[in-house]
Amino acid sequence: MLHNQIPRRLRPDAEAPALPTKQKPRSSLSRRNFLAAVACGLAAPSIVPISVLGRNGTVPPSERIIMAGLGIGGRGSGVLGWMLPEKDVQFVAVCDAKKAQREAVKRMIDNHYGTQDCQVYRDIRDFLARRTDIDALLIATGDRWHALASVMAMRAGKDVYSEKPSSMTVAEGQAVVETARRYGRIYQTGTQRLSEANFTFANELLRLGRLGKVHTVRAHIAPWDAAEMRHDWLPAQPEPSRDEVDWDQWLGPCPWRPYNASYVSGGWRGHYDFHTSCIGEWGAHTFAQCQVAIGAADTSAIEYQYVNNAFGEGMVTRFANGIQMVLQKEGWRGSCGVRYEGTEGWVSVADGYSKPDVSDPAMMADFKKLVQDYMARTQRPMSHVRDYFNCIKSRRLTVANPVMMHRSMTTVHAANICMWLKRDMKYDPVKEEFINDPEANRLRSRAMREPWIF
């Protein structure tokens, strides 16, 4: 049962039928005519759609997860494409600061259902206030909005699936964790490789000791942009109408900047105001993957060694359990790769691999068994969105829960800060602060522009 486990017909926020303001006049229908009408009613069959009854594989409305999308662009459309076929999910609305984008997503949703029912909204505040019927939200804005939108949605009683990187700062990650805990909301960050067979197999090899004592893991970082990002801004251009692009809302909590069309078409990447650098771009995935594998999903790296290059290539981070994680641009045949190295072997995998690379081909003999055993042991599907929907119903933590997101993103942020300040540093994951480094500690948060604040 969804929406705080209360059927929609019993929810306190559901619309009640209007009460009559005065007594209606007595009907002049005679007893004979009344009996004739009843007879006709009994003879005429009531036609109820099969979908309402939940037959032929359909899910009755009371058991559907009612969803909406926020900021659904290219990446978000891909996730939406994974979610729409789920029979117990129904998308009913989309909110976006850009008119063209919200209309494009409306067409995608309406075409899927064969209706014209998807509603569109420009302002997230108006949207959350009006749509009390919505159970869950897919958030796929740019990086700058992920944490704030998640907090706003969870405070409004929504469960959240947020694309990554799911925080811009350590403080933002803390806010997401605290809000999910306080309001009892389900949250999944979009590190979908935690729900893919190839990556799961690699993690299981490590967990079961098949690699021996693991000493090093390697995390892929994006081979474009840089760790040091731009602090200037693009030239001002005439601002479009608020309906076409709500520029104030597009900026959200970021500092005010003059409008430039390049920003809203993806040109925000590489700018400090809006981005988490080449380290955050793929590290949001690969750091999470590595930390889950080595049993560090609830902590962060404690040491960061500065490297004198533009990307953080080769930076060594170390966890309290002694395992080091190395940031690496090359070494895989696809994106978002990880490699785990132990005393008895190694495994490496990235997007596009038909099967993981391993030091010993004999390791692959148990591929299916290890994945199936993982699914049986954890009750997790090999589908990231399905895990999210299952957890909405069961109210258990997702595989990519708020704490895992925050702790792995803290490692991302600390690695960025190490590169920005150009020196080695140490971090205390219990106190969540850098050790004896006030300058680094100031970079754990950023000022948020009103009214877009927590």
Say which residues have a Cβ less than 8 Å from residue 298's Cβ, sequence separation at least 6: 403, 404, 407
- 435 contacts: CB under 8 Å, gap ≥ 6: 425, 426, 427, 428
Say what the pLDDT of residue 9 is: 30
Q: Do domains 58-192 and 193-227+275-442 have the same CATH topology?
A: no
Is the CB of residue 454 less than 8 Å from the CB of residue 151? Answer: yes
And the tokens for 158?
């929504």
Neighbouring C-beta atoms of residue 384, cutoff 10 Å: 23
Average pLDDT over every residue of 207-232: 97
Q: Report the DSSP beta bridge partners of residue 348.
A: 339, 357
Q: Is 409 in a helix, a strand, or coil? A: helix
> 323 and 216 in contact (C-beta within 8 Å)?
yes
Q: Does residue 55 surpass a pLDDT of 80?
A: no
Token pair recorded at residue 255: 């500092």
| Encoded tokens for 328 | 């690496």
State the CATH class of domain 193-227+275-442: alpha beta
Going by pLDDT thresholds of 50, 70 and 90, the confidence category of residue 59 is: confident
Structure tokens at 87: 């029979």
Q: Which of 26-40, 73-87, 91-105, 382-396 has the lowest mean pLDDT?
A: 26-40
Q: Is 388 exposed, middle or buried (0-12, 13-18, 19+ CB in 10 A)?
A: buried
Q: Which pair of tokens denotes residue 30?
A: 């005679």
Q: Which of 20-24, 118-122, 152-156, 283-287 has the lowest mean pLDDT?
A: 20-24
Distance CA 176, CA 405 (A): 9
pLDDT score for 2: 47
Is residue 77 within 8 A of residue 105, CB to CB? The reply is: yes
Least confident of 6-10, 101-105, 405-409: 6-10
Q: What's the average model confidence in pLDDT over 178-189?
A: 98
Angle of CA points 332, 294, 199, to nearest 5°: 40
What are the residue ranges spanned by the domains of the chain? 58-192, 193-227+275-442
Q: What is the pLDDT of residue 29?
A: 40
Domain 58-192 class, CATH top level: alpha beta
Q: Which amino acid belongs to residue 200?
A: T
Average pLDDT over residues 339-358: 98
Rg, Å, the chain Cα set: 25
* DSSP summary character for residue 452: S
Q: Is residue 11 very low, low, confident or very high in pLDDT (cuts 50, 70, 90)?
A: very low
Q: Are 286 and 221 in contact (CB under 8 A)?
A: yes
CB atoms within 10 A of CB 426: 15
Contacts of 85 (CB under 8 A, 6+ apart): none
Judge contact between 249 and 315, C-beta under 8 A: no
pTM passes above 0.85: yes
Q: Say which range, 17-26, 92-101, 238-247, 253-262, has the weakest mean pLDDT.
A: 17-26
- In sequence order, what DSSP letters do the residues of 144-205 get, joined into one string? GGHHHHHHHHHHTT-EEEEPSS--SSHHHHHHHHHHHHHHT--EEES-GGGGSHHHHHHHHH
Tokens read off for 66:
């009612």
Residue 258, number of CB atoms within 10 A of its CB: 12
Give the tens place of pLDDT for each residue, 421-451: 999 999 999 999 999 999 999 999 999 999 9
* 332 has a pLDDT exceeding 60: yes
Tokens linked to 55: 């037959």
Phi, psi of 296, rounded to the nearest 5 degrees: -120, 35
Supply the pLDDT for residue 20: 34
